[in-house]
Every structure is written in C-alpha cells, then in structure tokens.
Structure 1
Amino acid sequence: MDPAVLREDMVDGLESDAKGVLHDETVAVAMRDVPRHEFLEDDRTAYADRELEVLGTRVLAPSTVARLLQPLDLEDGHDVLLVGAGVGYTAAVVAEIVGETNVHAVDISRPLVIEARQNLARAGYGGVLVDCRDGANGFPEYAPFDRILLEAAAVDPPRALLEQLTDSGRIVFPCGTQRQRLEAVSADSEREAFAAVSFDPLLVEGEQSGAVERNRMTREDREHATRRAESRRGWEQEWIEWEESVGPQ
C-alpha cells in the first residue's frame, strides 16, 4: 500500500475517539508529512502504532511520539534539543514544526547517532544536527534552547538541561521510576503533569549498548566514593590540625 495512505491512516487513528491521544493540529500535520517508513525497514510496520527495537533501543510508537510532543507546545523558529535521538523520527517531526536547522539531537549510542543521521538525510531532514554525547550534559555549544525533550525517565531533569533553557523555555520529560508521568518544567521551575508513560532511565557514559564499561559500574563507583568521603572520621580527615586540636599533654 502507498506509504502516504498508511501515514494518513496512522494519524487518523491517533486522532480518533478510540485512542484520543493526538489533539494538537500542529503535531498532527507534522506527523502526516514525515515519511516514517524512511526510518524503519518495513512500510506497514513503520505505520503501525506499536513499539519496535532497532540497534538495541526502543523505537517509540507513534502514539507515544504524539504524547511527548504535544506538551512541548512547539512553534516555528523554536530552538529545540532532543535528548535521545533514537532512529531520528521524533527529530524529523519536530523539524517539520520549527525548521530543521533549529533541531539539535544527542544520543549516547554512537551506532544510533549514525543511524539517525542516515535516516534523517534520506527522509529530507539533513539539516538536523545529531551528535554523540552524554545527554545529561545537554548541548551547551548551541544553548540556550526554547524547548528540550528528554526521552528517558528521571526523577528531576538534569541541572545542565535546566540551565540551558531560555527564560521562557520548558523541558518535557518522563518523571518517576516505576510509575511515570510526563511533566513539563519551565525555566522558573513551574511544573505541569500530563499522561502516564513508561520509559527506561536516563543513561550516562558507559551504560550505552556496546560500551566496553557498563555505566552502571561507573555510577556505583561514584556513589561508593561519595559515601567514603562522607563517612570519614578522625585520622582519615587530612585537613584536621591534630597538633592544635589535641593541645599539651
């Protein structure tokens, strides 16, 4: 079947009363325009509303993409950072709204960065910038951003991302651990809750698929070092002036 027909059916389904997940006309128009089949191998699979797996990462279902993008309240000309490039589809939808040269995406997985770049170029969005880096650190070279989308769960947004927002900016992220909801946090710390979601936690350097050293261990090492520093007492504290504190015997 013609991919354009499949794409129309996909968006119609998301807007239907049965699913009721897509209410923003701007996002709907963008999703009708982006050739999702350029980001996945099979046309029918590309337009089915279900999750897939590519290169060890979850490719979001179209309904999840819609849920993520609507709270961003995107406008033409916004500078946007996507933390979690994936296969590039979400970045393409954002590019349709704000302009491709205003979209910056980062991913901690180098194979995914390469995949996203190739997919975006093939789909006609070669102006989207995709870079390999730890998303928790944001993309300071291109900050500030009007909108930041974090496609990974966290209890609170990383401080670096909040610091890279414009004064009127907002970050949208899955908030929580076991039970999660989308939250939008503005630059002045106001929060707004949206739909329930389920995402994997934010990865940091070393935890990505294929890494030589698992980031879990890096995180554990950091936590143990902190605990050791906080638990030091007496002779372990190098800064104590023992001769002065002990006094004459």
Structure 2
Amino acid sequence: MDPAVLREDMVDSLEHEAKAALDTERVALAMRDVPREAFVDDERLAYADRATEIDGTTVLAPSTAARLLEALDAREGDSILVVGVGVGYTAAVLAELGDATNVHAVDIDRNMVHTARENLDRTGYGATLVDCRDGSRGLPEYAPFDRILVEAAAVRPPRALLDQLSGDGRLVMPMGTSGQTLVALDSTGTVLERICPVAFRPLLLEGQQPGRLERNRTEREDREFAERNAQRRHGWEQEWIDWDGGRYR
C-alpha cells in the first residue's frame, strides 16, 4: 500500500476520539508529512500503533510520539533539545514543525546517533544536530532551549536540563520508576501538567550500557542521597569497621 495513504490512516486514527492522541492541527500535519517508514524499515510495523525494537532501542508507538509532541507544545522558532533521539523520528516531526536547524538531539548510544543522522539526512532533515552525549547533561553549548523533550524516564528531572531551559521554557519527560507519568515542567522543576501514565526505559547515564534494566539515578540524586545519609549518622555510626579482619578504626 502507498505509504502516504498509511500515514493518513495513522494520523486519522490518532485524531479519533477512541485514541485522542492528537488534537493540534500543526502536529497532525507534520506527522502526515514525515515518512515514518524511513525510520522503521517495515511499512507494516511503521504504521502499526505499537512500539518497535530496533537495534536495542525502542521506537515509540505513533500514539505515544503524538502525546509527547502535544505535551511539548513546540512553537515555530523554538530552540529544541531531544534527549534520547533513538532512530530520529520524533526529532524529524519537530523539524517539520519548525526549522531543522533549531532542533538538537543527543543519545548515549553511538550506534543510534549514526542511525538517527542517516535517517534524518535521508528524509530531508539533515540540518538537525545529533550528538553522542550523556542525556542527563544536555547540550550546554547550544542552550538555552525553549523546549526539551526527554524520551526516557527519570525519578527527577536532571538539574543540567533544567539549567539549560529558558525562563519560560517547557520540559516534557516521563517521571517515576515502576509507575511513570508523562509530565511537563518549567525551568524551576515545578510540574505544570500531568498528562498520562506511561512506561519508558530509564534514562541511561555515562558508563551504563543501553538495554540494561537498572534503576536510573542522576548525579544529583546520588549526591542528595549521600548527603541525606551522612546527616542521619552520628558518632560511631560514621566509623568504618573491618569485622572480618578484627580491626576497627
């Protein structure tokens, strides 16, 4: 079947009240224009409303991608950062919504960075910058950003990303561990809106391997936990005891 027809059917189903994933005409038009089959190399899977695994990364279901884009509320001219670019589809839709030169993306997986670059270049969005980075650290060289989209879950928004958000900016991310909620936050980390329950892989940090099922912890969280624990300990509790060796100090 003609991919253009499949795209039309996909967007129509996302706009239908049964899914209600799309309600903004600009986002709907952008999703009609971006050839999803170029990012998911199987037309049957590309336009099915379910997540797909490619080279160890999850390509979001169209309805999930639509909800992220709606929550982000990107406007023309906005400077945008996508954390966890994956195969590049969401970044392509954001580029279609505005200007590809205003869209920046990072991923911790070097192979996915190359894949995203190739996909974006092949579909006409090659001006989008894609770099291999620890997503929790953002892309400070190009900050501030008007919109930041995090396509991986964290317990709290990484401090670096909030610092790179413009004063009236908007950060959208799945927040939580086993029970995640898609939220929109401002630059202070205040939740502006709770959108819907979601299930995303954790945001990996530098040194962690993609695909490992381990709880995400940002550097800020590690520091906060350490400080909290230190405040709870007093006197002998702060001593290190080598019970096996029979020594203490």
The CA distance in 2 between the partners of 1:125 and 1:113, in whole Å, is 14
Match of 2:100 in 1: 100
Residue 208 of structure 1 deviates from its aligned partner by: 2.5
Residue 190 of structure 1 deviates from its aligned partner by: 4.8
Match of 1:193 in 2: 194
Query: What are the within-5 Å matches in structure 2 for residues 1-249 of structure 1?
Result: 1-188=1-188, 189-209=190-210, 226=226, 230=230
Select between 169-178 and 82-91 the one with higher mean Cα deviation.
Answer: 169-178
Please provide the CA RMSD for this pair. 2.6
Q: Secondary structure at the match of 1:104?
A: strand
1:114-134 C-alpha deviation (Å, 9 max, x unpaired): 110011111111001000010
Match of 1:242 in 2: none
The CA distance in 1 between the partners of 2:114 and 2:43, in whole Å, is 21
The CA distance in 2 between the partners of 1:43 and 1:30, in whole Å, is 18
Q: Which residue type is aligned with residue 165 of structure 1?
A: L
Unaligned runs of 5+ in 1: 238-249
Match of 2:243 in 1: none
Q: Which runs of 4+ in 1 moved over 6 A?
A: none
| Larger-gyration structure (1/2) | 1
Q: Which residue type is aligned with residue 98 of structure 1?
A: G
Select between 12-21 and 138-147 the one with higher mean Cα deviation.
Answer: 12-21
The CA distance in 2 between the partners of 1:182 and 1:143, in whole Å, is 23
Q: Structure 2-normalised TM-score?
A: 0.85
Match of 1:243 in 2: none
1:67-97 C-alpha deviation (Å, 9 max, x unpaired): 1110111111100000001000000001011
Q: Secondary structure at the match of 1:126?
A: coil
Contact kept? 1:162, 1:187, Cα under 8 Å = yes
Select between 110-119 and 172-181 the one with higher mean Cα deviation.
Answer: 172-181
The CA distance in 1 between the partners of 2:234 and 2:92, in whole Å, is 51
Q: Secondary structure at the match of 1:195?
A: strand
The CA distance in 1 between the partners of 2:196 and 2:84, in whole Å, is 19
The CA distance in 2 between the partners of 1:172 and 1:55, in whole Å, is 25
Residue 226 of structure 1 deviates from its aligned partner by: 4.4
Residue 44 of structure 1 deviates from its aligned partner by: 2.1
1:15-70 C-alpha deviation (Å, 9 max, x unpaired): 11222211111111110010111111112211111110011011100000001110
1:190-248 C-alpha deviation (Å, 9 max, x unpaired): 5211111111111101223389xx988x99xx78x948x936957x89xxxxxxxxxxx
Contact kept? 1:204, 1:215, Cα under 8 Å = no
Q: Secondary structure at the match of 2:167?
A: strand
Unaligned runs of 5+ in 2: 240-249
1:148-174 C-alpha deviation (Å, 9 max, x unpaired): 001111222100000001111010011
Percent of residue pairs identical = 58
Q: Structure 1-normalised TM-score?
A: 0.85
Q: Secondary structure at the match of 1:82?
A: strand
Contact kept? 2:153, 2:174, Cα under 8 Å = yes
Contact kept? 1:74, 1:147, Cα under 8 Å = yes
Contact kept? 1:107, 1:113, Cα under 8 Å = yes
